[in-house]
Structure 1
Amino acid sequence: MILKLRSLIPFILSGILALTTQSCFDGDDYDFDKLSEKVNWTPNMIVPAGYGTYSLWYLLNQHEENPADQVIIMDEEGMLHIKYTEADIFSYSVDEVLNFPNQSSIDLSYDLPDYTIGIPYTALPAFGSQTDQIQIVTGNTDVMLYELDLGANIQFQLSNPLNTEVDIHISIPNGTQAGSSINQTYTLAPNVNNQVENLDLTNLNLLFNTPHTTNNDIDITFDVDIKDNASHIISGSGDLEINLTVQNIVFQLAKGDFGKQVITLDAGSFDMNVDFWDDIEGDYQFVDPRINLSMENSVGVPFQINANITGYASDGNMASLNPDALQPNYPKEVSLANPFTIDPITEVITYDTNNSQIAAVMALPPSDRLEYFGNIALNPDGATPATPTNPNIISSNSAINVDIEIDVPLDFTASNLVLRDTINDIDISDTDKIMNAAVVIVTENGYPLEVNIDKIFFTDEAYNVIDEISDNDVIDAASVFTSGTNIGEVDPASIKEVEHQIQLSQSQIKNLNLTRNLIINASVSTQNNDVPVKLKGAYELKFTISVQAQIDLNN
């Protein structure tokens, strides 16, 4: 961003260093008369240190050969943004909302008269049907089911106390299989114990008993038909025993009230990879930073996002987003193309300065990392209650996936924003030949940023300070419009050519011999009566930097 302006700072000193590599030169190569007005001594050498025209777009992206690595982008209006995306920052799947654990077996019995002494077959009374209830257990005790499409099977263990075969007819009154009623007959052998039978319930549709409760009961009906035998005498004592277990439940679509569940989201962290954040400190404030949560949701349950993001700076400071709880939209209809799926809906939820503390997070800056965590509350307070005519719905492939996009338009104010850079491994000799030296900088600054080089420290190998240069107003800012439709944009009429000098003292020239590193402290600020400035990619900085020196030609 703006802070890569620090890459210009080494140009200012590179010409000085170049002087020390000149063992001889031809004075006829330079027109010193043209330079005499720039310093208060007569130079006899000039070394170009740097020149060029840099658009802000180029300056901020010149080191990113792969566009995919760029965190600075330019929109259609030429405005620059910091942008970062992270896929699947939050997600949860259907089994966190609705699942079916292994079901417990259920013991039932069909009452038979006591035929211990035997009874002629022709004297048997008529037997009526018997209806019992099966409870479908879910993984959450607050789930109330209205309707369920599923695949399953019921395993029966059937015991017959009579000395003759018995046909048992089984039906599920409120269930259909591929649109047909569910009816199955099993023939029990005489005096059999735990005869095993399986009822295949592929493509089963179940309507649960009303009034609906969290017991999630369905009816199952039994009819018996006692068969005649060779003796025509029916004997036996006890009831027809029915043990059943619902197995292998694989649901395809569920409607109901799934209760007030809270689903904890997986926590994580990421680094926005904004390199210049490691090199700055000071005060700045973005006008309109945003975090966009792009959601694809096929879970038809009202929900509330209770999530947070905490930013950490490299110095350990931290700030949290603390967003308002939001209740996004959710699908309410089953796909007509496939009765067992829910068409996902997409929605973008935005956290901005109106509903979160994003300005404080971005102003840290979050140079170390951003951590995210939180939960999703199903059927939160204030949501429309589930009813049989307006149910929660979920299919076997339902899920919520949330991607994050951080978008920070470079529209901001800054004051005392300190930049630091270091030039290492300097080896300078023969500075005794330099009698006087000065850096002359001519700029035409189309950036709305004022850059000051506050200090340049000369240090030894251990980074002990030997000397320093103090200076101000090296690059003057272009002014911006303070009202109207172009507020914050550079006023082209304010761009002008400015010349500035940094003159080295005799002690500074002498101490170059001992210098092994240069530590540069610069600062950036925006002016214009605190009107935020907008950085556009087309803004240009034109500059020439030269070092003028007076060399002792006799030494």
Structure 2
Amino acid sequence: MILKLRSLIPFLLAGILAISMQSCFNGDDYDFDKLSDKIDWTPNMIVPVGYGTYSLWYLLNQHEANPADQTITLDAEGMLHIKYMEEDIFSYNIDEVLNFPNQDAIDLSYSLSSFGIGVPYSPLLTYSKTDQIQIITGNTGNIGIKLYELDLNADIRFVLSNPLNTTVELSVSIPNGTAGGNLINETYTLTPYETDHIETLNLANLNLTFNTPFTTNNDIDITFDIDIKDNASHIISSTGDLGINLTVQNINFQLAKGDFGNQIITLDAGNFDMNVDFWDDIEGDYQFADPRINLIMENSVGVPFQINADITGYASDGSSAALNPDALQPAYPDKVSATNPLTIDAISETITYDKNNSNIVDLMALPPSDRLEYFGNIALNPAGAIAPTPTTPNIISNSSAINVDIEIDVPLDFTATNLMLRDTVNDIDISDADKIMNAAVVIVTENGYPLDVTIDKIYFTDAAYHVIDSISDNQVIEAASVFTSGANIGEVDPASVKEVEHKIQLNQSQIKNLNQTKNLIINAGVSTENDGVPVKLKGDYELKFTLSVQAQIDLNN
């Protein structure tokens, strides 16, 4: 916006240089009636320098032919916006909520010491025992995750030893589990005195219901039925315990329901540059009326959460401002899809940080010309959220994730005071200034922009940028007025757009110093008035101007 308006300043000053140049233009297209003769001396040279009509949309995007490179965009109503998108600014996957490390081996050996040196065989020599297996979760500090139900693929590796002098059949069952919809019951045969017998129970599409009351131990029952067979001597003796050592392994969970605790997940920090060029070329005070940061979320983690994230902007001079947003609790999926029990219904949501819930106005007024840095965390099951219970559990699948894109949208709806723009015109060569007796630049404008542009100073410098002289002025392009109430508040009132003529006259010292001038440094100010009503910049606002230089030349020299 302002960068492009800034590019008009050389046009407004080009008349100073035109007296030393060949001017090429089509006289049939130039409106000579707008070339002023209202000066106090009689010119003998009038040079039409330029004319044109510039829409704001053209000025802001004339160098960006590719729409993907355009930081400035138009909305459906023709309003101009600064827009920027950064993908995957925040994300986390399911491993950060729930994961299963390698499980510990569990010793469930069964004492058979009652057999001693031998007892007669009886068909009643059968035994049953039920033990618990703990499923260990791998989250930091094991912070109190309670599992209610788990769908997974897994193996159970058994190392079995038979201390008896006869064959033993060992049946394994999991009372609160099914595999592929079927009850789990597998029988293994151990020969007399067999040690380190290895078996693997493959459990595909395993559904487990955990023991109640639910605890952070995450226990499930496992039952062993021991059937002792007869032998030739019909005497059963034992040398120790029936060895039962097991390890749950190769856990690949598909769906989990439970209470996943009050976890804090740290988000990856990063930074980006919005690439708004004009922020590097302005100084002063301005505020955008309604900037917004949209967090565009795809969420398939069925756990209530709170985003505690912040963004800090840094200006080119090192100053900074923080967004300081309110903590927000977005929506989350709370049920398993009815058509696929292993899939969670994803939630698409956009949450917005604006002037009502953050410090975004000050952040964008900084301006963040250097970079924006983001950081923060996500709190699971925060205070105030629905507490997980067996009927309202946290729900996640092995493909659950949260991905957040950021969209920054700054409508060019703002107020500005003391806004200073700077520009430099280099490599000026004026060798015949001694022939000029009087000179003036005359500008005729029809300004449809709601911006007052004043040239504060024009500095004449030598090749080393040492100031030789300067021109002071206080009014070049007057703003169009805007509506201060009603439906069109902030927009230009077309009836206020008028043709205005303005003249900048050079004094004798300034004319004399043109011979030494190699560069011009221009300081211009931009401001909005309208009793503090923010002005809205629309793409079809136009600035029309004609520019001429009038000079009185010493024809005898």
Whether these two folds match at TM > 0.5 is yes
1:406-437: CA deviation from partner (whole Å, max 9, x where unpaired): 11111111111111111122232222122221
- Say whether residues 1:137 and 2:150 are aligned partners: no
For residue 442 of structure 1, the aligned residue among 439, 444, 453 is 444
CA contact (8 A) 1:36 1:42 kept: no
Aligned twin of 1:511: 513
- CA–CA distance in structure 2, aligned partners of residues 117 and 365 of structure 1: 90
1:456-512 CA distance string (max 9 Å, x none): 111122221111111111000001111111111111111100000011112212212
TM-score computed with the length of structure 1 as normaliser? 0.96
Residue aligning to 2:13: 13
Q: How does 1:280-319 map to 2 (within 5 A)?
A: 280-319=282-321
1:324 and 1:158 map into 2 onto residues whose CA distance is 58
User: Could you tell me which amino acid in structure 1 is paired with residue 118 of structure 2?
Assistant: G
Q: What letter corresponds to residue 59 of structure 1 in structure 2?
A: L
Alignment partner for residue 236 of structure 1, among 224, 235, 238? Answer: 238
1:192 and 1:512 map into 2 onto residues whose CA distance is 109
Moved more, 498-507 or 233-242: 233-242
Between stretches 495-504 and 106-115, larger displacement belongs to 106-115
Higher mean Cα deviation, 463-472 or 321-330?
A: 463-472
Q: Which amino acid aligns with 1:400?
A: I
Is contact 1:290-1:358 (8 Å) kept? yes
Separation in 1, partners of 2:472, 2:39: 18
Aligned to 2:78: 78
Instruction: Indicate the SS of the match to 2:459.
Output: strand
When residues 221 and 36 of structure 1 are mapped into structure 2, their CA distance, relative to the original with a 3 A threshold, is: closer
Q: Report the CA distance between 1:35 and its aligned residue.
A: 5.8
Q: Provide the residue aligned with 2:68 in structure 1.
A: 68
The separation in 2 between residues aligned to 1:518 and 1:392, in whole angstroms, is 67
Maintained 8 Å contact 1:438/1:548: yes
Match of 1:103 in 2: 103
SS at match of 1:110: coil
Cα separation, 1, equivalents of 2:325 and 2:157 = 51
Name the counterpart of 2:435: 433
Q: Does 1:57 align with 2:61?
A: no
Q: Which amino acid aligns with 1:200?
A: N
Structure 2: state its 5+ residue gaps. Answer: 24-29
Determine if contact 1:110/1:242 at 8 Å carries over to the other structure.
yes
Matches within 5 A, 1:69-468: 69-121=69-121, 123=122, 125-140=124-139, 141=142, 142-468=144-470
Aligned to 1:41: 41
Gaps of 5+ in 1: 24-29
Structure 2 partner of 1:548: 550
Matched residue SS, 1:156: strand
Post-superposition offset of 1:199:
0.6
Deviations 1:245-280 (A, max 9, x none): 111111100000000000000011111111101000
The CA distance in 2 between the partners of 1:389 and 1:441, in whole Å, is 77
Matched residue of 1:109: which SS?
coil
3-state secondary structure, aligned to 1:84:
strand
What amino acid does structure 2 have at the position aligned with 1:286? Answer: F
Query: How many residues align structurally?
Result: 548
Partners of 1:12 and 1:49 within 8 A in 2: no
Contact 1:441/1:501 (CA < 8 Å) preserved in 2?
A: yes
Distance 1:36 1:172, change over 3 A: closer
Q: Output the amino acid matched with 2:76.
A: E
Q: Following the alignment from structure 1 to structure 2, what is the Cα–Cα distance between the partners of residues 120 and 34?
A: 127
Is 1:135–1:217's contact at 8 Å kept on the other side of the alignment? Answer: yes
Structure 2: which amino acid aligns with 1:48?
P
CA distance in 2, matches of 1:283, 1:536: 21
State the 1:234 CA deviation.
2.1
TM-score normalised according to structure 2 size = 0.96
Per the alignment, do residues 422 and 200 of structure 1 end up closer, same or farther by CA in structure 2, a change over 3 Å counting?
same
Q: Once structures 1 and 2 are overlaid, which stretch shifts more, 545-554 or 434-443?
A: 545-554
Counterpart Cα distance in 1 of 2:33 and 2:125: 130
In 2: Cα distance, 1:74 partner to 1:11 partner? 26
Partners of 2:459 and 2:331 in 1: CA distance: 58
Please give the alpha-carbon distance, in whole angstroms, between the structure 2 residues aligned to 1:191 and 1:33: 119
CA RMSD of aligned residues (A): 1.7
Q: Deviations over 1:31-74 (max 9, x none)?
A: 99996732211222222222111111111111111111111111
Structure 2 letter corresponding to 1:111? S
Give the drift of 1:438: 0.9
Distance 1:160 1:274, change over 3 A: same
Q: Is contact 2:35-2:442 (8 Å) kept? A: no
Distance 1:92 1:327 in 2: 16
SS of aligned partner of 2:7? helix
What SS is found at the alignment partner of 2:12? helix
Separation in 1, partners of 2:86, 2:48? 45
